[in-house]
């Protein structure tokens, strides 16, 4: 009788210990489940390549990457969501990566053709405080002194050009695409308005000439302005 009891206890312990192992679910399982949906042999896509896998806890994952279209080999973005070991959603973008890129480029070109932008009032204050010029202690010190009225900002054309350039770059970047470089070729100060010409080069390779103006208040802070492409 004792022998039977020992056997039963041993089997029970073995079952308890093996249960978590049987229920284990990891990144490999999430990738497998996602691949079966987005690149199944019966689907229009193949060769799922994962670019990002986020473990959100409790056997849940967010996955994304690219698959190849069986028809023409073009790349398409896909996403999957696994929740508590269950694949609850998946999607493959019908438009290829190239098509999406061309659409963005066409949109940017259309914007460039329109070629105008206005430097807003409130937005500029945030731009200045978060601009790369904040990484330059000397420039930041000048800004502090000018704001406090300790010096005349309109005797410092370099400071005004740096302020204007930083704001132009931020707005063009938001309006027309990522800016690689911005150069103010000429700048003339009339009263508190800085006007001139410049050039901007975008990360995707195109380059445009522009006209600009930046309006400053008495402490050397930009409160308005505009630019247009030539």
pLDDT level of residue 101 (50, 70, 90 thresholds): low
> How much is the pTM?
0.47
Q: Is the pLDDT of residue 108 over 80?
A: no
- Please work out, in degrees rounded to the nearest 5, the angle formed at the alpha carbon of residue 99 by the alpha carbons of 78 and 35: 15
Phi, psi (5° rounding) for residue 117?
-155, 155
Burial 89-118 (b: 16+ CB within 10 A, else e): ebebeeebeeeeeeeeeeebeebbeebebe
- Please work out, in degrees rounded to the nearest 5, the angle formed at the alpha carbon of residue 209 by the alpha carbons of 207 and 211: 150
Highest mean pLDDT, choosing among 20-24, 44-48, 164-168:
44-48
User: Does residue 14 or residue 60 have the better pLDDT?
Assistant: 60
Q: Which of 77, 22, 18 is nearest to 45 (CA)?
A: 77
Q: What CA dihedral angle connects 209, 213, 214 and 217, to 10 degrees?
A: 170
User: Does residue 131 or residue 76 have the better pLDDT?
Assistant: 76
The pLDDT tens digits of the residues spanning 176-212 come to 778 899 999 999 999 999 999 999 888 878 888 888 8
What stretches of 56-141 adopt beta strand conformation (E)? 61-69, 75-83, 86-92, 116-119
Report the pLDDT value the prediction gives residue 117, as an integer from 0 to 100.
52
Query: Which region among 128-132, 175-179, 219-223 has the lowest average model confidence (pLDDT)?
Result: 128-132
What stretches of 148-191 adopt beta strand conformation (E)? 179-190
Asked if 66 and 51 count as a contact pair (C-beta separation under 8 A), the reply is yes
The pLDDT tens digits of the residues spanning 25-61 come to 999 999 999 999 899 888 899 999 999 999 988 899 9
């Amino acid at each position: 009788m004792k022998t039977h009891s020992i056997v039963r206890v041993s089997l029970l312990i073995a079952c308890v210990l093996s249960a978590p192992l049987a229920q284990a679910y990891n990144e490999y399982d999430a990738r497998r489940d996602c691949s079966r949906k987005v690149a199944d042999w019966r689907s229009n896509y193949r060769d799922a390549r994962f670019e990002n896998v986020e473990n959100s806890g409790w056997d849940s994952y967010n996955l994304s990457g690219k698959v190849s279209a069986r028809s023409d080999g073009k790349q398409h973005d896909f996403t999957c969501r696994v929740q508590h070991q269950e694949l609850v959603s998946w999607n493959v973008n019908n438009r290829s990566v190239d098509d999406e890129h061309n659409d963005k480029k066409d949109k940017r070109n259309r914007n460039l053709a329109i070629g105008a932008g206005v430097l807003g009032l409130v937005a500029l204050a945030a731009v200045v405080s978060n601009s790369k010029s904040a990484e330059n202690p000397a420039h930041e010190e000048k800004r502090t002194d000018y704001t406090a009225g300790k010096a005349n900002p309109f005797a410092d054309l370099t400071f005004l050009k740096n302020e204007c350039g930083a704001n132009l770059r931020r707005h063009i970047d938001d309006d027309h695409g990522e800016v690689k470089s911005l150069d103010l070729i000429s700048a003339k100060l009339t009263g508190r308005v800085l006007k001139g010409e410049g050039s901007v080069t975008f990360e995707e390779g195109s380059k445009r000439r522009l006209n600009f103006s930046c309006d400053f208040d008495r402490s050397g802070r930009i409160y308005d302005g505009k630019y247009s492409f030539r």
